[in-house]
Amino acid sequence: MATFAYGRVSTADQTADNQRLEIENAGHKVDYWFHDTLSGKTSASQRPQFAAMLSQIRNGETLVVAKLDRLGRDAQDVGATVKLLAARKIAVIVLQLGKLDLTSPAGKLMLTMLAAVAEMERDLLVERTQAGLARAKNEGKTLGRPSKTTAAQRAEIVAKYAAGESVSALSRFYNVSRANILGVVKPA
């Protein structure tokens, strides 16, 4: 049975060679090597080389990756990928976790615990972000994208619109989109 290895890097000036070396130095003889150069925010199913590897790997073979995030963009994506591989009896080894096969009962337990920790970390990040936004708002800071028009220009736009000036003419005059003008003259 063949051993497949997969690596991913985020930018073209990076190389996945270190990941392959790490896998080989851990004692795995790599028969087939696949790697993608794209953002980690891309789900596993959307990664071209990962999809090519999935079409080539046969049931009962082994997939080795250096780190857990190579199997997906988040805990749910990693879980779905591992379930797909487990259904095909493909052993999944993540060096970052030792030589633990994620498709084994112990591996499934480890994956579930890691997913729970990742979800908690994501929730804490959202909490910290919300707290920071609330603090900034309480300090009087303006949040969001800066306005393309000044307060004086907005007053002029309202007055000109009330006098019969068209939205398109105002848009051209102030060099902003029609939607921007409509947001000033007809606020939500």
pLDDT of the residue at 29: 95
Asked whether residue 79 is domain-assigned, the answer is yes
Reference 61, options 26, 103, 20; nearest CA is 103
Asked whether residue 25 is domain-assigned, the answer is yes
Amino acid in the structure at residue 57? I
35 Cβ contact list (under 8 Å, min separation 6): 6, 7, 8, 9, 16, 19, 20, 49
| CA 85 to each of CA 24, 59, 102, 107, 110: distance values in angstroms, whole numbers, following the listed order | 21, 8, 10, 13, 16
Cβ-based neighbour number of residue 112 at 10 Å = 12
pLDDT of the residue at 33: 97
State which residues of the chain have pLDDT below 50. Answer: none
Reference 5, options 46, 34, 40; nearest CA is 34
pLDDT of the residue at 146: 87
Q: Catalytic site residues?
A: 10
Pair (175, 92) in one structural domain: no
Separation of alpha carbons 140 and 79, rounded Å: 43
62: its two tokens:
């082994």
Asked whether residue 163 is domain-assigned, the answer is yes
**Structural domain count of the chain:** 2
Asked whether residue 122 is domain-assigned, the answer is no
163: its two tokens:
């006098």
Q: Give pLDDT tens digits for 106-155.
A: 888 887 887 777 778 878 888 999 999 999 999 999 888 888 999 999 99
Asked whether 161 and 185 are in contact (CB, 8 A), the reply is yes
| CA 171 to each of CA 130, 145, 151, 179, 184: distance values in angstroms, whole numbers, following the listed order | 35, 19, 16, 9, 11
For the domain that residue 21 is a member of, what is the CATH number?
3.40.50.1390
Residues in the chain: 188
User: Domain range for residue 165?
Assistant: 151-185
Amino acid in the structure at residue 65? V
Pair (62, 107) in one structural domain: yes
pLDDT of the residue at 6: 96
Asked whether residue 128 is domain-assigned, the answer is no
pLDDT of the residue at 188: 63
Domain boundary, last residue among 90, 115, 140: 115
Pair (105, 56) in one structural domain: yes
